[in-house]
Amino acid sequence: MAKTSAMQVRVNHEARERATKILENLGLSMGDAVNVFLKQVEIHNGLPFSVTLEPKSDILSARQEVELMEAGVVPRNSKSVSEFFAEVYANE
């Protein structure tokens, strides 16, 4: 049997409760989930997911607007995505 050691961490109470319910539905304990996470850190030689800063919402909105225009979803003559969708829903 593998040698184990105790670990004590502080976490947000509500987040822990929500995660515990999800893990129970998966048939995992919190300890099982932590062990899976630690194994993945070992396998990836780092965090097993990307950690990035989110772009500011106005930059993200501008990028999304350009992408929608380039895809032809939003006509280039629309002033903004919001105005486009307001016009679409007004015509329903």
Whole-angstrom Cα distance, residue 54 to residue 60? 9
Please check whether residue 30 is in contact with residue 23, taking contact to mean a CB–CB distance below 8 angstroms. yes
Q: What pTM does this model have?
A: 0.55
Place of tokens 């630690």: 38
Domain with 77 in it: 57-90
Each residue's pLDDT tens digit, 46-82: 999 888 776 666 666 777 777 877 777 766 665 666 7
Quick one: 38 and 6 in the same domain? yes
Quick one: 62 and 38 in the same domain? no
Radius of gyration of the chain (CA): 23
Q: Distance from CA of residue 52 to its chain's centroid?
A: 11
Tally of domains in the chain: 2
43 pLDDT exceeds 90? yes
CA atoms within 13 A on the CB side of 7: 10
